[in-house]
Amino acid sequence: MPNLIVTPNTGELAERAAAWIASVIRDAVARRGHCAMALAGGNTPAPVYRLLAHIAGVAWPRVILFFGDERAVPPDDARSNFRLVNDNLLSGLPEPPARVHRMQAERPDRDAAAAEYASLLPAALDLLLLGMGEDCHVASLFPHQPPLHETQRRVVPTIGGTPLLPRLTITPPVIREARRVCVLAAGPAKAAAVTRALEGAEDFAAVPAQLARGATWILDRAAAARLSGAVTR
Ligand code: 6PG
């Protein structure tokens, strides 16, 4: 069962999510001395990252940052997930993280870039942050695409999304093995996808977000509007 947090609006969603992430980082650092955390792209996390940068008491030099997916664009491109994180989180931090592992999805040999990135990932991420699209994709795992069936490789090339671009993405084993997973979704356009992900018949090939069914889901009221009581109680 998911851990469901429903907030009244997107502003409070950002505050709750930033506070939740900060507490998971503190917990991982206290238990294991570091926190390996993979971040999401998309619009929803940007205000979360801005708030997170200013939460006191986060040991950033103990944090190792990864990405769940990246578009095949240079790191300074407006469509780059690295740039999103750089502009909204890294640029506001009091101290830099121990390491930031950018996915180099713009490299011509994306298979090699994927394999090299997989070799950097820990066996289990301490925290994986995901956004979800209206088509129920998470990271760049799009419905009915081959990466959903990966059991060995942990990072693979793919193509899809908005903007429609070649990408690198983590695969289902990375989601399943992560210690903590958080999905963020806001707005009425996500309401049907949230319901399919959390209450729909199991079919992760059609509904990739079901891979994160056991995660912490932080929603605004609009995104949660079509859930029955079953999950919210
Ligand atoms: C990407 C993302 C993607 C995103 C969702 C939700 O690079 O496109 O990582 O999985 O999180 O599409 O995006 P929004 O937050 O913009 O709705």
The domains of the chain are located at: 3-220
Q: What is the pLDDT of residues 70-122, one digit of tens each?
A: 999 999 999 999 999 999 999 999 999 999 999 999 999 999 999 999 999 99
In a mutational test of the pocket of ligand 1, which residue from 10, 69, 71 has the highest number of ligand atoms less than 8 Å from its CB? 69
pLDDT at 230: 58
In three-state secondary structure terms, 46 is helix
Cβ of residue 44 lying under 6 Å from some atom of ligand 1: yes
In the reported structure, the alpha carbon of residue 182 is separated from the centroid of ligand 1 by a whole-number distance in angstroms of 13
**CATH C-level class of 3-220:** alpha beta
Cβ neighbours of 4 (radius 10 Å): 17
Q: What is the pLDDT of residues 152-188, one digit of tens each?
A: 999 999 999 988 999 999 999 999 999 999 999 999 9
Torsions phi, psi for 197 (to 5 deg): -70, -40
H helices present in 1-44, as ranges: 10-32
In the reported structure, the alpha carbon of residue 30 is separated from the centroid of ligand 1 by a whole-number distance in angstroms of 30
pTM, rounded to two decimals: 0.97
